[in-house]
Amino acid sequence: MSNLNRREILTSSVALPAAALLAHSQRTVSAGQPRAQLPDSIRVAIIGLEGHYSEILDAAKVHPQVKVTAIVEQDDALRKRITRNPQLKDARVYQDHRELLAEKLEVVAVCGQNGPRASIVEAWAERGVPIITEKPLSLSLEELNRTRAAVSRSGVPLTMLLPMRFSPPFQKMRAIVRSGQIGEVVALAAQKSYKLGQRPDWMKDRKSFGGTIPYIGIHMVDLMMHVSGCDFTQAAAFHSTVGFPAMREMENNAAVLFRLTNQGTASLRIDYLRPETAPTHGDDRLRVAGTKGIIEYQGGELKLVTSAHGPVDVADMPPERSLFVDFLESLYGGPKHALSPEEIFRVNEVVLKARDAADTGRLVQL
């Protein structure tokens, strides 16, 4: 699994080696046999060039039916990317997503700033166009409830850019947990540590950003629930910005403690404190401890120790799949998408309440 965040490849002040960029761009996005026959043309509009829209571009490299036919972006600096990218250069460019109404589209990708995301998703849900969206889905519980109602009312297919659950090590972790090798899950521990790099102004304002816990914590909250099969009932949290005054309201550290439904615990630590000299942009870790053993991911390696045997390096990984391709296949007769609307709304609810717990200093019910 790559530790490179796609947005950071484009915006980080760190100069990545050419070999790393090449390896990332050539990542296999859909290994194995196709599970559905895709149509000859799948027209996609990308609304905003801030997020992980390379998920769509990576899929298009493998499936040429995927064609980016329209882009919405107001920022002049970001619009320059369009002419430099052969997969984007032929797309019609707009400044407002409402200008897309005349476009014939099979999928809309909502990849812009956090603030307007909920209203954009609601608008396209009402049009009935399948949606792939950045995270978090909304910046408040009130927005989330409104968006949930719009999606439920329309029945539109929806997915969210939470690609970590599709990475081979985490697929393998989930399979091991589900096999019963580590027994009942009792304790989870996760980490997201990033280099700060260059951040846009909208991320420095809580009203447009929403907080670090929802923004990057959502990846690990989803992964903890997906891998373990557990849900959370309570959360306590802290967050703050220490140093780096130019970051204003963007928290650079956070810690969240959850209670599991079986009375076990889960902890999540988040920071933007990874030094520029570190070999990778991110340092992701996940540990699942059960009544019979422990499975742990760190530094790109997966290790398992159980009551039946000592520590072993886990190999024999499943093939990597693309979240977007998995979503497309579900639209055209393939298996059910691996990320359900119920999971999407639940993980957004959890991270928003965890942020509120940090804001208020109170234990919150989930």
User: How do residues 159-179 score in pLDDT, each as one tens digit?
Assistant: 999 999 999 999 999 999 999
pLDDT tens digits along 240-294: 999 999 999 999 999 999 999 999 999 999 999 999 999 999 999 999 999 999 9
Q: Find the largest Cα–Cα distance for the chain.
A: 62
Return the structure tokens found at 186. 């009792």
* Residue 15: per-residue pLDDT: 33
Return the structure tokens found at 347. 């993980």
At residue 81, does pLDDT exceed 90? no
On the CB side of 304, CA atoms within 13 Å amount to: 20
Mention every residue, 6+ apart, whose C-beta is less than 8 A from residue 104.
43
Overall average pLDDT of the 205-226 stretch:
98
CA distance 319 to 146: 37
- Closest among 29, 267, 22, 55 to 167, alpha carbons compared: 29
CA distance 129 to 142: 23
The domains located in the chain, with CATH, are 6-161 (3.40.50.720), 164-318+340-365 (3.30.360.10)
Overall average pLDDT of the 184-196 stretch:
98
Query: Tokens 């769509």, residue?
Result: 56
% of residues, the chain, pLDDT over 90: 84
Residue 306, SS3 per DSSP: strand
Full-model pTM: 0.90
Return the structure tokens found at 353. 């309440």
Mention every residue, 6+ apart, whose C-beta is less than 8 A from residue 25.
58, 61
pLDDT tens digits along 344-358: 999 999 999 999 999
CA distance 332 to 311: 43
Residue 183's identity, in one-letter code, is G
* Residue 80: per-residue pLDDT: 86
pLDDT tens digits along 105-151: 999 999 999 999 999 999 999 999 999 999 999 999 999 999 999 99
- How far, CA to CA in Å, does 187 sit from each of 29, 289, 315? 32, 5, 23
At residue 35, does pLDDT exceed 60? yes
Strand-pairing partners, residue 46, are 71, 109
Task: Indicate the pLDDT class of residue 102, thresholds 50, 70 and 90.
Answer: confident
Higher pLDDT, 302 or 9: 302
For residue 320, report the phi and psi dihedrals to the nearest 5 degrees. Answer: -75, 140
* Residue 171: per-residue pLDDT: 97
At residue 231, does pLDDT exceed 50? yes
Task: Indicate the pLDDT class of residue 7, thresholds 50, 70 and 90.
Answer: very low
Overall average pLDDT of the 79-106 stretch:
91
Are the beta carbons of 294 and 287 closer than 8 angstroms? yes
Task: Assign 3-class secondary structure to 306-352.
Answer: ECCEEEEECCCCCCCECHHHHHHHHHCCCCCCCCCHHHHHHHHHHHH
CA angle centred on 329, ends 328 and 331, rounded to 5°: 65
- E strand or H helix at 150, and its extent? helix 141-154
CA distance 366 to 364: 6
Overall average pLDDT of the 304-313 stretch:
96
Pairing of strands 282-290, 293-298: antiparallel
* Residue 77: per-residue pLDDT: 87
- Closest among 4, 29, 61, 40 to 332, alpha carbons compared: 40
Q: What is the DSSP letter of 214?
A: I
Strand-pairing partners, residue 139, are none
Query: Tokens 């792939």, residue?
Result: 132
CA distance 29 to 338: 15
Range scoring the smallest mean pLDDT among 29-38, 102-111, 278-287, 317-326: 29-38
* Residue 32: per-residue pLDDT: 53
Q: How far is Cα of residue 212 from the mean position of the Cα atoms in its chain?
A: 13
* Residue 34: per-residue pLDDT: 67
Task: Indicate the pLDDT class of residue 17, thresholds 50, 70 and 90.
Answer: very low
% of residues, the chain, pLDDT over 70: 91
* Residue 33: per-residue pLDDT: 61
Mean pLDDT score across all residues of the chain: 91
At residue 191, does pLDDT exceed 90? yes
Task: Indicate the pLDDT class of residue 5, thresholds 50, 70 and 90.
Answer: very low
At residue 26, does pLDDT exceed 80? no
